[in-house]
Structure 1
Amino acid sequence: MRTTARLLTGTALAAATVALTAVSATGALAGDFEGLELFPQTAAPGATVTVDTTACGRDGHGRGDARSVGAGDFKLEPGTHKESVVGRFQVAEDAQAGTYGIRVRCDNGREATGDLVVEHAGPSGHVKTGIGGSVAPDTTQIAAGVALLAAAAVGGTLLLRRRASGAQGS
């Protein structure tokens, strides 16, 4: 039993070491990639998304690729913050819900990537059915409804008690 536990522990440690080595090697290869900030990170079809990155450097320029959400390419130009570039694109009206990769390539050769989540908004607000109703709760109507329910409960209770005691009138 102990040898099985030692074997499993040794295997787990070896796997963790290999994983850490792979992550370190990938990090060294991915040195030219930086993060891309998206505002908002979750958008509905038709929404305008702003992207921001420092990968292009001060007064840098670049091009973004948002074809995955049907927006095509977009320009990145210096923003109001130091050393950042900004671009905008509009999510296509027919974009499907899901997570999409957005990529930016700067004139200096660096790249930045980020994920955009597209969600379809559910129904909100009032449904126009043709039947009247109020937009805000009417306290008078609520009080009248509560009073009617209370009267019905008291009346029902009295009838049940009267029936159980056998005091029924002819």
Structure 2
Amino acid sequence: MRNTRIGAVVCLAVGSLALAAPVAGAAADPSGERTIRISPAKASPGSQVTVSTRACGKETYGKGTSEAGGAFHLFEGDREGVLVGAFDIPAGTRPGTDTVTVKCPPRVKITDTYRIVERTPSGGVDAGFGAPAGQGPQLAAGSVLLAAAAAGGVVRLRRRTAGTRS
């Protein structure tokens, strides 16, 4: 009786894995043939976004639309079977997500999203190395305090050594 239960559980586990395998394979799509590649993944208003896909197969033309950027065309890129298109994000666009839809003949339609961020960072990161701009008085005051602490320590050591001699 016990072996029968164990056998039934094993059969159910193997059966559920066998049924789920085709669904997992279709969702993963390791070939990348049914996906859109959006670059950059985080774009700012006023910048250009590039869309590429292999979903169109042997077609050499496709159409795309972006909720923020409007309609654009996809043409053959540098690699065979890859269509590439680009559009600009208008300067007044608010941060959030934007949906891009690509259509190819005869009936291929793929949708993906990317993020629109407030602005693109410019310049280097202030990591604390080098003289800070506009903070000269603070740097001078800190140097004076450090020198005073060092002088106080020297005086204290001199007085203590003199007191132990007598």
Alignment partner of 1:36 is 2:36: yes
In structure 2, the partner of 1:150 is 146
Alpha-carbon distance in structure 1 between the residues aligned to 2:156 and 2:90 = 64
Equivalent residue in structure 2 for 1:103, among 97, 101, 104 = 101
Alpha-carbon distance in structure 2 between the residues aligned to 1:122 and 1:79 = 27
Q: How many angstroms does 1:123 deviate by?
A: 6.3
Q: How many angstroms does 1:121 deviate by?
A: 2.7
Preserved CA contact (<8 Å) 1:34 1:113: no
In structure 2, the partner of 1:52 is 52
Q: Which amino acid aligns with 2:150?
A: V
Distance 1:160 1:94, change over 3 A: farther
Unaligned runs of 5+ in 1: 1-12, 127-135, 162-170
In structure 2, the partner of 1:114 is 112
SS in structure 1 of the partner of residue 90 of structure 2:
coil
Paired residues for 1:72-91 under 5 Å: 72-91=70-89
Alpha-carbon distance in structure 1 between the residues aligned to 2:104 and 2:120 = 37
TM-score w.r.t. length of structure 1: 0.58
Alpha-carbon distance in structure 2 between the residues aligned to 1:75 and 1:59 = 13
Distance 1:107 1:122, change over 3 A: closer
Preserved CA contact (<8 Å) 1:53 1:84: yes
Q: How many angstroms does 1:155 deviate by?
A: 4.5
Quote the sequence identity (%). Answer: 30
Preserved CA contact (<8 Å) 1:58 1:78: no
Equivalent residue in structure 2 for 1:71, among 69, 72, 79 = 69
TM-score w.r.t. length of structure 2: 0.59
Unaligned runs of 5+ in 2: 1-11, 28-32, 125-129, 158-166
Consecutive aligned runs of 4 or more in structure 1 exceeding 4 Å deviation = 122-126, 144-147, 155-161
Preserved CA contact (<8 Å) 1:34 1:111: no
Q: Show CA shifts across 1:33-67 (max 9, x none).
A: 92100111111111101100011123421110112
**Root-mean-square deviation (Å):** 4.2
SS in structure 2 of the partner of residue 34 of structure 1:
coil
